[in-house]
Amino acid sequence: MGTYPTFHHHRSFARGLSWNEHAYESFNQSVTWVAPKNKVYSLSNSLQNCIALAVALNGLGTREFYTVFLGRLGIVVTSDVENWLSQTSVARDKQIAKAKTPKAKKRRVKRCHDNLLVKTVVAKRERALREGN
């Protein structure tokens, strides 16, 4: 797991609050989507901005977030934009629901394992070439 925070690590700070592990993982995925763990955001407000975006999108939903955001920027949301936001929001909700099915999870795990096998074979070949075998 490395140094990444885990559910149990955060639970120790929750002071007895009941945490919903699925909600926590969902939020963690949302933050990882906009602020990947393999990137460094130091000496800037980038990480704070990325996390704020994830919190807003996760809390409000796609349609409501962009409606409020565009309104605060002073951009008028026309009926065409409203229609597009509605369609995008519905499509995102369907995609999230589909990704939570057992079949989709098994497919993701299988793809991850297949990629690991390929990387292992490549690493063995590169090591053999380096060592001259």
DSSP letters along 13-39, please?
A: TSTTPPP-HHHHHHHHHHHHHHS-TTS
Quick: pLDDT tens for 67-76: 888 888 888 8
Task: Tell me how crowded residue 85 is: count the other CB atoms within 10 A of its CB.
Answer: 19
Structure tokens at 94: 């369907």
Task: Quickly state the pLDDT bin for 124 (edges 50, 70, 90).
Answer: very high
Structure-model confidence comparison of residues 21 and 65, the more confident one: 65
